Amino acid sequence: MKKILVTREIPDAGMELLQEFETTVLSEEPPAREELLGAAEGASGVLCTLTEQIDEEFFEAAGDNLKVVANMAVGYDNIDLEAAGRRGVVVTNTPGVLDETTADTTFMLLLAAARRLGEAERIVRGGRWKAWGPKMLLGPDVWGKRLGIIGMGRIGRAVARRARGFGMRILYHSRSAKPHAEKEFGAIRLDLDQLLIHSDFISIHTPLTPETHHLIGERELKLMKSTAVLVNTSRGPVVDEAALAKALADRHIFAAGLDVYEEEPKVHPGLLELENVVLVPHIGSASFETRDKMARMAAENLRAVLAGERPPNPVR
C-alpha cells in the first residue's frame, strides 16, 4: 500500500478519496519542520498547504518514492519547482475553485475598510458608544467610485463583477490586455502608476514572483490618493508591510484591508497598532463549499499521478 502524507488536517471531502492509501495526517496547526521532514520519509505522495516549504531538503528527506506533491492552494510559491523537476516529482494545485469565494472576501474587506467596520465594532464591544453622532466614523462611499484591479485574472474578474453591482468604474493593470474584461466591464487598462494615481480603491490579485515582490512599496503608496483604500487578498510579500504601516499612520492613504501578510502568521507590529486597517487571518477561501472543493481537487490530483495518469491540474 502506497504511503501518503497529508501535512494538515483537511476537510473529509478530500480524505474520503485517500482511503486506498496508507495515509498519515499531521495536525491542524502547521507542523514543525523536523516533524514534517520525518513524516515525509518514504511517502509516494504529499498533499500539502501553503504553510509548508517543499524544498530540496524536503525532497531529500522524502526519498525516491515521492511521485507527486499536491498543493491545496492556487499559488505554489511554497514549492521549489526546479527541485521537483530534477527529481521527476509532479506538482499540482487547485485553480478555479476559490475565485468567487476569494472575491467575496475581497469585497468584504473593501467595504469594511471604507466604512470603518473594525473600529465601529470595537467601540460597541468596548462599551464606548454613547450616542449617534453626525460626524461619527465617517468613511468614503464605495458605489460609483473607481476600482483599480492589479492582476485581471480569474479572481480579479470576479471582483470586477461585484464592483459593477456597485456602479464602480473599473481600471486595471495586467501584463497583457484583457479584451473580454474590457468588453464585459468597460475596464480601462493603465500602467501601474496611473492606476494608483486615479483609483479610489485598489485591489491586488497578482501571484507572488520575484517581479511582484514589494510591488506596492513606499513610492507606490505615495502615488495613491489620500482617500484611497488598499485591499490585498493575493500574497503578503506583494506589499511592503512596513511602508504600508507608515502610509496608514501618516494618513497618506485612508485605509487598508489585508487577508495576507509578508511573514504569516506574523503581522507587522505597526499595523497592529492602527485603527484604519482591517486585518483577517488568511480566510480568503474559507467557506465550507470552497474548502471541500479544494480538498477534493488536491486529492484527485494526487490519486491520478499515483495511478499513472495525467493529473487534472498540473503546475509542471
137: left (phi over 0), alpha (psi -120 to 50) or beta: left
CA 39, CA 33: separation in Å to the nearest integer? 10
Active site residue 213: no
Paired with 140 in beta bridges are none
Identity at 256, one-letter amino acid code: A
Supply φ then ψ for residue 152, to 5 degrees. Answer: -95, 60
Residue 21: count of CB within 10 angstroms of its CB: 20
Active site residue 264: yes
Supply φ then ψ for residue 310, to 5 degrees. Answer: -75, 130
List the catalytic residue out of 162, 198, 282, 300: 282
List the catalytic residue out of 115, 116, 205, 235: 235
* Residue length of the chain: 316
Peptide bond into 311 cis (omega under 30): no
Strands (E), the chain: 3-8, 22-27, 45-48, 68-71, 90-92, 146-150, 169-173, 188-189, 201-204, 229-232, 255-258, 277-279
Active site residue 173: no
Residues designated as active site = 235, 264, 282
